[in-house]
Amino acid sequence: MKTAIYARVSTNNGQDPEMQLRELREYCQRRGWQIVHEYVDVGISGTREKRPQLDKLLADAHRRHFDVVVVWRFDRFARSVSHLLRALENFRSLGIEFVSLSEQVDTSTPTGKMIFTVLGAVAELERSLIAERVKAGLRNARAKGKKLGRPRLVPNPGVVARLRAQGASWRAVGRALGVSPATAYCTAAKARLEIPHSESALSE
């Protein structure tokens, strides 16, 4: 099988990915798998969403450059259970197997498939709990009379008048103040500014 191996160390200070790589190479050799590429991120925290070599591995997976991905440990590869599950689901859709050496997980085996299913259930439970906590928080906020959502942006009528006096169109005024042309126009109207009837067209 064409194999990709991935290793990561968090810092350059005293950490060497070679220990991980050596064990991964030995494992692939025992299985008779051909290593076609080694992806190594050095000095990259596991909490970071973007990792150059991991991103390259995922891109190469879509190009079907390999049949299996082998990592030293889950936390060297994924930053969370949900991140791990998304990657594994992506691999499965591409027909790529996944092996974690330390956890002895191999998705090509019945036991590995079972562990993948359990991880999926845990991730789903985690998502459900988070969603329920968010909903409960919103209900509590509404019960206390708090207004939810982004506050409405109301432009300063004086600024609107000054921009108009400088010859700015309603569209330009709205863009400058971060509102729609209609909102800029209505602000001026409510402030009882003198606006000629012909200026009611907002497309100028």
Of 31, 76, 82, the C-alpha closest to 53 is 76
| Marked catalytic residue, from 10, 80, 169, 180 | 10
Q: Are 187 and 154 a contacting pair, CB within 8 Å?
A: yes
Q: Which residues on neighbouring strands pair with residue 6, listed in sequence order?
A: 39, 71
Residue ranges of alpha helices (H) inside the chain are: 18-31, 52-62, 74-77, 81-94, 110-143, 157-165, 170-177, 181-190
* 128 is annotated as an active-site residue: no
**The tokens of 192 are what?**
């009882």
Of 112, 66, 179, the C-alpha closest to 58 is 66
Residues designated as active site: 10
